[in-house]
Structure 1
Amino acid sequence: MTLIELVNKFRTALENMNPLDFAGTSLSVSKFPDASCDDASLLLAAFLVDNGYPNSYVIRGSSGGNNSELQSHVWLELNGIQIDITADQFNKYGYNNDAIILESDNQFLKTFESINDGEGDFRSFVLKYNDAGLMSHFEECYQSIIEAVA
């Protein structure tokens, strides 16, 4: 499958799932894509690895938007391509972001002061926190997504 096909399948699965399917992650507290960019990106990175697209990195942005009014946002970068499946959450503030950003140079994402926060796959990223409970929550969420994608 191509990268865009995989990302589309993943995003569609998240849109159709219930927040209750995501206990223990930010996806459980609001309806996707709202307030879920961090955890959705970590889960997407694992999905990409499992489907032949390794080495995506978590990009953390701050002070973004036209007037630096957006405090934070998270997306992935894979071989110079920005992958964002939650930027449309900001459309209620007057932005016009697609449901999926998959491009090397995106004007909206460029508004953020950004840093590379390391490997995106939750199975590596969450290890930084040495929290078995958190890892368990992510693994359960990921399994739910995999079942929804199938």
Structure 2
Amino acid sequence: MKDQLRLIAVKVRETIETIDPNLFPEECQLRNTFPNGACGDSSMLLGKLLLDNFDVDCDYVCGSSLLEGHEQETHAWLGYKGYKVDITADQFDQIKDKAIVEQSHFLYDDYGENSRKRISESFPDELISSYEIIKNRIYI
């Protein structure tokens, strides 16, 4: 399971990187400085691709942390059967991997979970056009 999730996560990440950011709607986080500040939309979009293509219904997880010398920060990722699936973790200086699929990772030790919701029950309408852009360019 872990290897399959990682393969898909990497493929989605690589596909997003090949798309001209200007093709995404202005309200989409992928339009700006991906992966920085794009964790929410990226997680939702990855989750929808997993759901539609592999019948994997992940949880969208949002957490927050008070980091040394910084104001409170938030981060979002997917949860599935104990795994944390994240294609934007490298926006943090200490992370080099473009995709994390782990049951335990030091990054998430600093984040308290604020909310958790199923992708199948919460995919936002405003991301449908961004989803179509990625779906039409990815081969998984």
The 3 A distance-change label for structure 1 pair 126 and 146 is closer
Offset at residue 55 of structure 1 (A): 2.2
Identify which of 82, 103, 122 aligns with 1:125. 122
What pairs with 1:131-146 in structure 2 (closer than 5 Å)?
Answer: 135=125, 137-146=126-135
Identify which of 53, 56, 59 aligns with 1:57. 59
Identical amino acids, percent of aligned pairs: 27
**1:68, 1:55 → 2: CA distance?**
36
Deviations 1:112-148 (CA, angstroms, capped at 9, x unpaired): 1113421135xx3145xxxxxxx1x411111110122
The amino acid that maps onto 2:119 is: G
Structure 2 residue aligned with 1:96: 95
The 3 A distance-change label for structure 1 pair 73 and 106 is same
Deviations 1:1-37 (CA, angstroms, capped at 9, x unpaired): 9222211110101111122122031222x13101100
How many residues in Structure 1 have an aligned counterpart in Structure 2? 135
Q: TM-score, normalised by structure 2?
A: 0.85
Offset at residue 52 of structure 1 (A): 1.5
**1:68, 1:101 → 2: CA distance?**
25
Runs of 4+ in 1 over 3 A off after TM superposition: none
1:26 aligns with 2:23: no
RMSD between aligned residues: 2.0
Contact residue 89 and residue 95 of structure 2 kept, 8 A:
no
Contact residue 76 and residue 120 of structure 1 kept, 8 A:
no
Unpaired runs of at least 5, structure 1: 128-134
Deviations 1:53-77 (CA, angstroms, capped at 9, x unpaired): 4221111111155x27351110010
Q: TM-score, normalised by structure 1?
A: 0.80
Secondary structure of 2:137's match? helix
Structure 2 residue aligned with 1:131: none
**1:25, 1:34 → 2: CA distance?**
13
Unpaired runs of at least 5, structure 2: none
Higher helix proportion (structure 1 or 2)? 1
Secondary structure of 1:6's match? helix
The amino acid that maps onto 1:13 is: T
Structure 2 residue aligned with 1:132: none
**1:34, 1:43 → 2: CA distance?**
16
